[in-house]
Amino acid sequence: MLLRVCAHSLIVAVIGLVWEGLSGGLVDGFGPLNPVLFGRPSRVVGQLGALVLDPVFWPHLWITLSETLMGLAWALFAAVFLALLFVYRPLLGRLLEPWLNGINALPKLALAPFLVVWVGIGFTSKVLVSASMAFFPLFFSTLSGVRALDPELINAHRIMGFSKLQLLRVVVFPCAWRWTLSAGRAALGLALTGAVVGEFIGATGGLGYLLVGAQGFMATDRALAILVVLGVLGVGLDWAIHWLQGKSQFSFFQDAL
Amino acid sequence: MPVHAIEPPVLEVADLSVSYAGRKGLVVEALDGVSFKVAPGEFVAVIGASGCGKSTLLKAIAGLLSDKHQVSGEVRNQAGLSLGYLFQRETLLPWRTVLDNVAVPLEAQRIPKIPRRQRARCWLKRLGLAGEEKRFPHELSGGQRQRALLARTLVYGPDVILLDEPLGSLDALARTRMQDVLLGLHRTSKQAFVLVTHDLDEALALADRVVLLAGQPGRVYREYPVNWRHSDSVLTARMAAGYAELQRRLWLDLEVEHDAVACVRA
């Protein structure tokens, strides 16, 4: 553990030092990279400190975080609902499938400007962009999970007198849940991207909004500091999903190895 | 035996024919006019070669056939009859412990958690799985899993228990043990058993009556009463007078039917 921390610190230090040197931070004003365009690590760190200490900054972080989580939640809900619909109403599923495939093939971010125009520059449009990004991996994965169910497992429990709704709770959900969660990491990254890009296009707050603002003023160091915050946010959420996956995994796969 | 003739059957299969659309829209006939009765507390074994519709027969009795199947004839149950079903494949929930797996059927009856677990624990103990309650299905041996499945089937006290080659995947030793367990259960309970198998010895050792299903689609070829039902283990049953003779007769009938089907096909 300590060795790993040391190794990664060293990598960060080397990159930072090279960058610092190239952008003229070591020999004053002497370097091939223009610090106005490329930033300078020492100033980025200073900006990061300023951001964290600024009480105005935290609500922005909260906006992006809640947009991402809301987007993810809606995507999850829609994905599970539609996956079940596809399986329990195959005819409807066959009707909807080409449409979903078509929308999946479409770059969802291209929809973002429309959504912002239609729904407004507030919270809802970001949630929609975020959800539309996160939906597809969750949906396809859940669908595979429900389809992979052993019909004999359902039959065995049906004969005990469970209703269809109870069967969902007892057999279908626990089985499909692992599949859904396996797409969780991909969906999370996409949800965050959706929220931030949505904020780029038009917003009144959020990290993406701050980022665009900073870039607009050529405040590269500040923009880079915001990028670092976004990175930390993304990694933190990824860890959360990873932890959930670990909790819901049965261990027999590990046993087999 | 006469007792069975007097009592009204707990289950009656009457002129049951089942067919379904197979690949390329070809109609596959699985069963053709199958009729037999099961008296309360009777152990009936249905034997036949693979593909003569044995599993389909059990599914039809349990009402588990999908709407792809064309069914004529009927399955008459006594009112309020509850069924248990032991499947060929393993159907324990991998994310639940053995105890919670065995307690699942009681969940369907909305029995609260604590009595549910008590009853499940009791059955696990009866089937020799005490101490394995907290383990997960993949941590058990095949024989233990099969016993857990049996415990799950028995825990809610169904009137008729349908067994679809439940011991096919076990090794010879575990199978004999399970057969003894089944014999003991049948002797002490009033439940009726319908066992589907292609194992002649298993059928003869366990059943009160053997129904030979033959052909494609499957028809009832003949029924054979079994007279040594008082035995308490598979081994003593095998040594009973008349066992070898009946076994030989069943073999011959199976062979004759097999050849006949082969001729029709050729």
Burial B207-218 (b: 16+ CB within 10 A, else e): bbbbbbbbbbbb
Beta strands in chain B (DSSP E): 11-21, 27-38, 43-47, 69-77, 83-86, 160-164, 192-197, 209-214, 219-225
Size of interface A-B (CB pairs under 8 A): 55
Helices (H) and strands (E) in chain A, counts: 14, 0
Write down the ipTM of this complex. Answer: 0.83
What pLDDT band is residue B238 in, cutting at 50, 70 and 90? confident
List all residues of chain B from 51 to 70 with a beta carbon under 8 Å from chain A. 59, 62, 64
Q: Which of B249, B233, B136, B240 is nearest to B200 (CA)?
A: B249
With an 8 Å Cβ cutoff, are B91 and A166 in contact?
Answer: no
Chain B residues close to A162, C-beta within 8 Å: 107-108
Low-confidence residues of chain A, pLDDT below 70? 248-257
Contact B106, B120 (CB under 8 A): yes
Give the model's pLDDT for residue A250.
55
Of all residues in chain B, the percent with pLDDT exceeding 70 is 93
State the pTM of this model.
0.79
Give the model's pLDDT for residue B72.
87
DSSP A166-190: HHIIIIIHHHHHHHHHHTHHHHHHH
CA angle, corner A136, sides to A134 and A142, nearest 5?
105
What pLDDT band is residue B260 in, cutting at 50, 70 and 90? low
Chain A residue with minimum CA distance to B91: A153
Give the model's pLDDT for residue B6.
64
What pLDDT band is residue B229 in, cutting at 50, 70 and 90? low
DSSP A18-64: HHHHHTTTTTTT-SSS-HHHH--HHHHHHHHHHHHH-TTHHHHHHHH
Phi and psi at B71, nearest 5°, equal: -120, 130
How far apart CA A178 and CA A245 sit, in angstroms, is 8
Chain B residues close to A251, C-beta within 8 Å: 136
Q: Which of A58-62, B167-171, B202-206, B209-213 has the lowest mean pLDDT?
A: B167-171
Q: What is the pLDDT of residues B116-160, one digit of tens each?
A: 999 999 999 988 888 888 999 888 888 889 889 999 999 998 999
What pLDDT band is residue B266 in, cutting at 50, 70 and 90? very low
Six-digit token pair at A105? 């093939």
Give the model's pLDDT for residue A194.
94
Give the model's pLDDT for residue B5.
54
Based on its alpha-carbon atoms, the radius of gyration of chain B, rounded to whole angstroms, reads 19
Instruction: Give the gap in angstroms from C-alpha B175 to the nearest C-alpha of chain A.
Output: 21
Q: What is the pLDDT of residues A60-83, one digit of tens each?
A: 999 999 999 999 999 999 999 999
With an 8 Å Cβ cutoff, are B64 and A158 in contact?
Answer: yes
Give the model's pLDDT for residue A84.
92
Give the model's pLDDT for residue B262.
56
Give the model's pLDDT for residue B4.
52
